[in-house]
Structure 1
Amino acid sequence: MNVSFDDIQNMFNAINRSDINQNSLNLVDEDIIDSIDMMKLILEIEKFIGKSLDAKYITPDNFEDFSTIKKMLEEVI
């Protein structure tokens, strides 16, 4: 399964964070998303991939921007 930036945008839209897009950077480092946003996003990711996300992937580095999220998802799938 290919993961697109549109897929990731849809996940952010689903958690009511449509203000975040592919141009947003340093999402965790700059506190653009907090731990609650990350947990909501993880739930959306799990719906997308159809299984639980292994804890080893739940690191701040994997949630810094659309590229790091996409890379993580491609490893998981």
Structure 2
Amino acid sequence: MQDIKELFVAIGKPNVDENMQNLLSDGIIDSMDVIMLVVEIEKRYKKPLKSEFIINECFESFETIAAMIDKAMQ
């Protein structure tokens, strides 16, 4: 989960932590944050993230982000 935390720090959201849920639904992050996260993920893994993975459900918690990255980078 440290990798996910580093992504949030990179986009200027160091206050987001792994205990938080419903990140998008509760307005903790917004669509611009998602775009910045996608850019950071692509930079970190040196691979573009397919649009099928850029859906709200994938950005609700550290767990859903980690699962999405695992699936997307296979």
Structure 2 residue runs of 5 or longer lacking an equivalent are none
Which of 58, 63, 71 is the aligned partner of 1:62? 58
Q: How many equivalent residue pairs?
A: 73
Q: How far does the alpha carbon of each residue in 1:8-58 deviate from its partner, in whole angstroms, 9 at most, with x for none?
A: 000000001001010111001111100111111110010121111000000
Report what 2:31 is aligned to: 35
TM-score by length of 1: 0.92
TM-score by length of 2: 0.95
Structure 1 residue runs of 5 or longer lacking an equivalent are none
Report what 1:53 is aligned to: 49
Structure 1 runs (4+) deviating above 3 angstroms are none
Which of 8, 18, 21 is the aligned partner of 1:25? 21
Over aligned residue pairs, what C-alpha RMSD do you find?
A: 0.6
